[in-house]
Amino acid sequence: MGTGRFAGSGSGALGRGSSGARYSSASTSTVASGSAMALFFGAAGGASTQAVAGAVVRDTFGQRGVSEYIYKMISSPAVQGMFEELFTLSVLLLQNKTWDAITKRYGVPDQPGCLAELSTAIKRNLGAKEPLEAFREIAGISLDDVLLAAIGEDDDIFLDGNAGDVLTAAQKHGTKIFGSLSGYYLGSVLNRAAIREVPPLSDQQKISMQVASQERADFIIRRFERTYLSKEQTTYRQMLSTFQNNEDWFRDKLREEIPA
């Protein structure tokens, strides 16, 4: 359930992007300082090396207001609720041979587009418990990111496939994704949070930011494993609640240098 890595471009599950940067390019200095941001968003198109992208993510998350925002986000009912639902879905999609248990739990029948409808049902249920639209949006997109990865990034199956299509694809691709669920989910959440804090990105910059956000997520999870996992019976499923209960530790890991 540890680290994970997405293969997609980071443009949003099924084209569902974020609501856009909260800062214009004129206010870049309020997001991240130093040469990394200047290189990444330079007038000549910017540098897209992973080292530069990693520095941009670290500098962005290192801002006091941003790290506080991300801490509140990972503590929110929406982000924690989606994480919990994905653990449940990992069992229902991988261990059951029929869609019946999903229908019973979520009220979604076997029909074309049932996985998209399942996603909508989960978002609708958790959305009623989350007052902040931004947190609902990030949690919902991250849910879709993981579900799409679990069926091999196949948009057609997500949008139009029946239960048989979904279960077959999940059996083929989902073991890897759900086996590293903590990494895949946290990577998506951090990526969605990061791109809301910077100026608009080119396609290449989106890829670089996604990889850098995943590297940050993997680093945080490795530190979680070292510090908390299995202590006092802490599991991966309790990862986000552990972050919530250890705010200073979590915010330090957002800005800590990742060893080479």
Contact 169, 157 (CB under 8 A): yes
Q: How far is CA 36 from the centre of its chain?
A: 23
| Stated pTM of the model | 0.85
Do 195 and 206 contact (CB within 8 A), yes or no?
yes
Which range (37-46, 94-103, 144-153, 242-251) has the least confidence?
A: 37-46
Indicate if 112 and 135 belong to the same structural domain.
yes
Q: What is the mean pLDDT of residues 174-181?
A: 97
Domain containing 212: what range? 29-41+48-74+196-255
Number of domains in the chain: 2
Q: Is the residue at 13 inside a domain?
A: no
Of residues 198 and 2, more confidently modeled: 198
Q: Domain check: are 170 and 209 in the same one? A: no
For 180-205, what is each residue's pLDDT tens digit?
999 999 999 999 999 998 888 888 88
How many CB atoms neighbour CB 234 within 10 A?
16
If asked whether residues 202 and 238 sit together in one domain, one would say: yes
How distant, in Å, are the alpha carbons of 95, 143, 169 from that of 188?
Answer: 25, 9, 21
Same-domain check for residues 111 and 153: yes
pLDDT tens string 73-110: 999 999 999 999 999 999 999 998 899 999 999 999 99
- Type of residue found at 183: G
